């Protein structure tokens, strides 16, 4: 082995060693940044459902008495508010056509094409082990102060 190859191998070994030493610190820092962002946004994470509880690509689940639409398209999963923002009625789901419709104001949303005149809010989801967690944001009332 010539000197250039030796130095190249040493530099690569040193880089791999440093990477393996700092990897746990970086993952801890990322977790701390994520926790700080959640705290700043007022998001608390609650167990929502087990991975085995997902039976269909589109279904309605209830979390703390509130309807949540779970849309599953390939590896993309979304948790969407199941209440019409216009008239506050529960959205009717058609799993055959992958649509949701408010029967009061007649607005629709197609979950397959992500289009429609019904503008539904969404909740953040994350997976930990085999459990999905839903992020619920606390909203401030107008009279509340930060102190």
Does 124 score more than 80 pLDDT?
yes
First to last CA, the chain: 68
Laid out side by side, the sheet with 131-137 consists of: 43-50, 131-137, 125-128
Average pLDDT over residues 97-105: 91
Does 38 score more than 80 pLDDT?
no
Sort residue 60 into left (φ over 0), alpha (ψ -120 to 50) or beta. beta
Nearest to 79 by CA among 134, 8, 1: 134
Does 94 score more than 80 pLDDT?
yes
Pair 126, 135: CB distance under 8 Å: yes
Pair 70, 78: CB distance under 8 Å: yes
Q: For 57-73, what is each residue's pLDDT tens digit?
A: 888 988 888 899 998 87
């Amino acid at each position: 082995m010539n000197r250039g190859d030796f130095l190249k191998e040493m530099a690569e070994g040193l880089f791999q060693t440093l990477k393996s030493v700092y990897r746990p610190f970086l993952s801890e820092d990322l977790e701390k940044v994520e926790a700080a962002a959640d705290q700043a946004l007022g998001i608390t994470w609650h167990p929502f459902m087990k991975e085995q509880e997902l039976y269909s690509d589109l279904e309605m689940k209830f979390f703390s008495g509130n309807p949540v639409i779970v849309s599953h398209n390939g590896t993309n999963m979304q948790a969407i508010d199941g209440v019409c923002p216009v008239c506050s009625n529960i959205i009717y789901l058609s799993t055959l056509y992958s649509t949701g419709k408010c029967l009061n104001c007649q607005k629709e949303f197609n979950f397959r094409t992500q289009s429609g005149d019904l503008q539904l809010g969404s909740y953040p989801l994350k997976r930990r082990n085999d459990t999905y967690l839903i992020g619920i944001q606390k909203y401030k009332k107008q009279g509340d102060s930060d102190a």
